[in-house]
A and B are shown apart, each in its own frame.
Chain A
């Protein structure tokens, strides 16, 4: 914790910043700040430790730069790195928070063909600087838990739930908690030793590991995808519990169908690997969310985004209308687009998407 700056110091800082901004252009200040004060950038985080968590997962302990806003157990942050010249960002749920030193830990599971997860698992040595965004996500613990909890995790959906389980254990488990954790194979499970130790030592905490591609062999293991009989045998008191579910879309939907109407409450968070979108299909429409103006539009997929937006009454700045001048470029947070000239698909978030020469291939979130 840094002490709150006193008014006099704040005044001095403001003056120094003001003078610096006149003495050098913004990008020059950024250049020197990166070299002289790398820890002062709230958008960067340094890798302090790395340890192997399972066959295909590592945990990285990160020190975010000063001014980073912090993170609640259960929230996510976007972590990025430069791979072959391009910034690639993915969301991770920090575990082991809050910590007094402001650090966070993320557990990264290798995704087949995943660019960033491969880099974080195999490369990214201690000392690497990564990009970090502000924390986001609504699935957090209530300040005063009032009912028993049931956590349903599948695959890397474990990470936000693990963060909350640790936070509850640190508070002496104020309400009973049961965690059901699905994975295909035993060696894909994360935090197994830690979870078993918690189950042994912390009263009120139970864990079950459920395998969908292997036979169960220990008493705290089970088999099969999520289904009703399983829930009845492991969670007889479902009606009294608040359910939190996290995992791939299909898993979260199945969990909702099975528990939402019976449990006290149900909240969930779903994620899915990037959808491989249509290649040829230019018919139909997509939902385009304009993040800055908080609008959601239904736009045709066949037209350039600029034309489609204009037809919907939105007029972003535009210039050449042929992909040359960059005037209409705006950030894309999520979704896939296809370049009208080259036919190239872009699944990654980008800082400057030229609306005039790209069409939507999937639902999009734009910085407009």
Chain B
């Protein structure tokens, strides 16, 4: 499966025009932010809380009631687990991720403050704001600068150096998916540096302290306190919570991998970001990102990462606007001769799986095409 994409090579003047067109979409949207955006995110927050509470209560009733009336056990526990997983997915994707980008800072609502939000996942929000908001969003798909390319674990692009370790990556990728939240939690610790002797143990321990506290709290919440509430019938609650967290991990992994690792997604060398203009930056975001087709349900469940391209253009604009912005963005890309990478989830994720399998074996990049014309 190789890409047949041909993007028009843009001159510096054309790049500026491209950047201005995207900036104009941004300005038009920002000018109309208001009550309906706040109402929307509050409705999402409300859904997250109510669905989460009902999931936990159903699990509880299923576990305790099921001990006396076995017919209740499975249906209630399955329903409770699915609702809890749904709540966690919505919280992580549409609520937490978007709020933590500062998309709703303009409201002045302390509950929607991007720098204060702490999400329901093993990793700390502080680390996420650093690895994701700053590194990944600024240096998207730039090799050696964006740690999200394979998360330091997987080889997904031929430009990454092959090591025998990568032969195991089809298996490692599955384990990573199941434990995705824990992988994200320790991403910023960069254990590899410690293994390679580039970081002292004391330094690692210092960095681990807030991460460990957050992990401990999550374990205590989902695997100790809530199960304990069911007393001797704790086991179904515990298992339900484990399954809900794993379902959330699998879904977020799938969505996120579809965002930057599809067949047509490109990576970039470090040199490409030197003196990058705004137009070049937009172009790099476009070529490194891929969207998912699907309706409003897909947008909601992916936290609007189904509009990964728009999210990378406008990470600080409320995500509920991406769908309408996408119409204009797509038209602008067509007008400037740029490929707009989108497809259904099965197709896009199939391409990701292919990359995981293909690049487990040694591979070589094809002759590089110029991404953009050298600036005059």
Contacts and interface: CB of A to CB of B under 8 A. Distances in A.
Interface string A89-105: 10000000000000000
A287 interface: no
B189 to A, nearest CB: 19
B221 A326 contact: no
Most buried by B among A28, A32, A341: A28
B49 interface: yes
A193 to B, nearest CB: 38
Nearest to B87: A28
A25 B134 contact: no
Contacts of A28: 48-49, 52, 120
A326 B49 contact: no
B155 interface: no
Interface string B97-121: 0000110011111110111011110
Contacts of A342: 27, 30
A331 to B, nearest CB: 9
Given A22-B221, A32-B49, A327 B133 contact: yes
Interface string A298-309: 000000000000
A23 B45 CA distance: 17
A322 interface: yes
B138 A325 contact: yes
A84 B316 contact: no
A85 B113 contact: no
B8 interface: no
Given A85-B35, A319-B133, A325-B134, A31 B105 contact: no
A329 B115 contact: yes
B347 interface: no
B23 A341 contact: yes
Nearest to A34: B111
Contacts of A213: none
**Which of A30, A84, A341: most chain B Cβ within 10 A?**
A84
B129 interface: yes
Most chain B Cβ neighbours within 10 Å, of A23, A85, A323, A349: A85
A284 interface: no
Contact of B138 (A27, A322, A329): A322
B106 A31 contact: no
Interface in B1-46: 23, 27, 30, 33-39, 45-46
Contacts of A326: 101-102, 105, 114-115, 129, 133, 316
A86 B106 contact: yes
A261 B237 CA distance: 77
Given A85-B38, A324-B316, A27 B108 contact: no
B217 interface: yes
A349 B120 CA distance: 30
A329 B316 CA distance: 12
Which of A30, A80, A320, A341 has the most C-beta atoms of chain B within 10 angstroms of its own C-beta?
A320
Interface string B313-344: 00110000000000000000000000000000
A22 B137 contact: no
B138 A352 contact: no
Nearest to B134: A319
Interface in A330-368: 341-342, 349-352
B45 A27 contact: yes
Interface residues of A, number: 35
A320 B136 CA distance: 10
Nearest to B220: A22
B188 to A, nearest CB: 13
Nearest to A352: B105
B111 A87 contact: no
B217 to A, nearest CB: 6
B67 interface: no
A122 interface: no
A22 B316 contact: no
Contacts of A352: 102, 105, 113-115
A28 B118 CA distance: 10
Contacts of B113: 351-352
Nearest to A19: B225
Interface in A84-133: 84-89
A239 B105 CA distance: 52
A339 to B, nearest CB: 10
B50 to A, nearest CB: 9
Contact of B109 (A19, A82, A329): A82
Contacts of A80: 108
Interface in A264-320: 319-320
Interface in B45-62: 45-46, 48-49, 52
A12 to B, nearest CB: 17
B173 to A, nearest CB: 28
Contacts of B36: 85
B253 interface: no
B111 A31 contact: yes
A350 B114 CA distance: 13
B226 A23 contact: yes
Nearest to B101: A326
A236 interface: no
A26 interface: yes
Given A82-B109, A87-B109, A27 B129 contact: no
B130 interface: yes
Nearest to A88: B108
User: Which of B113, B115, B135 has the largest count of A CB atoms less than 10 A from its CB?
Assistant: B115
Contact of A22 (B39, B119, B217): B217
B182 to A, nearest CB: 17
A169 B130 CA distance: 58
Interface string B141-176: 000000000000000000000000000000000000
Contact of A25 (B35, B101, B120): B120
B116 to A, nearest CB: 8
B86 to A, nearest CB: 15
Contacts of B221: 22-24
Contact of A82 (B23, B38, B130): B38
Given A82-B107, A320-B137, 10 more contacts: A84-B34, A85-B35, A85-B106, A87-B107, A87-B109, A88-B108, A326-B102, A326-B129, A350-B108, A352-B105
11 contacts: A22-B221, A23-B226, A28-B48, A31-B45, A85-B106, A320-B134, A327-B129, A329-B105, A329-B114, A352-B102, A352-B114
A-B pairs, 5 with minimum CB distance: A87-B108, A319-B134, A352-B105, A326-B102, A320-B138
